[in-house]
Structure 1
């Protein structure tokens, strides 16, 4: 699985942890091991521009997802048909995440891990516009994040290599 990180935010982050939690999420969702994902970290100004352009909403946001291929091209490894796919981009704004982390009473890393899982799930077609969708997506997000944290804490490998 190829996961590229480009940090253009001006804020230092643990890129290895972001890759680890993204890879773990894709593994848990049975996405082909040769799928590709991009994580882009932007400053407030650049994120604001994206948020306005693509969501027609003012101000910056914490995370946005931009799918590249149709989801059905990112099949499970045991399925016939197309295999690897360029899944898309997850765009994070560490400055916004920092404010949210402070309000939530945890660190920036924890918030970025949560937002990475959230963004990957959006790439995979999950949404939270309706209450039922929100329960499903946020439940899955929390399950994945808790399992990843447990694996990291116990030294178990977090995802396929």
Structure 2
């Protein structure tokens, strides 16, 4: 199953980008033995529209256009369910085992996700109720993808 990280905005050079790349590289290496490929990263440009609802609509249309035709979608949304790392790993394994061709993790822009994107998602998850910068959310998601691969592989990293 192909893993995809789809996000509005671009990570600029710096520590967040380096840390994100490190976790994604580790995920790719560990995921191969688990029947996972990627994670591939697709960045969508931020909308320049003036009104938040217009920005969300434009970014949402671009996100939907970038999603594979078939495959599961998990979107990060503050109204989503809070999940443990074990639950994320179990979801990933269940989708893989059911033959899903891909799993896309979607991070919206500063204004959030459009209703169209929320409606397309198979699951909405949140990393708590606090607000985090998008750069850190991307790092946190990359780490959780890596952690999921270590859980599925029985690796001790998860216990650290």
TM > 0.5 fold call: no
Higher strand share: 2
Report the TM-score, using the length of structure 1 for normalisation: 0.33
Report the TM-score, using the length of structure 2 for normalisation: 0.33
Greater relative CO, 1 or 2 (CA 8 Å, sep 6+): 2
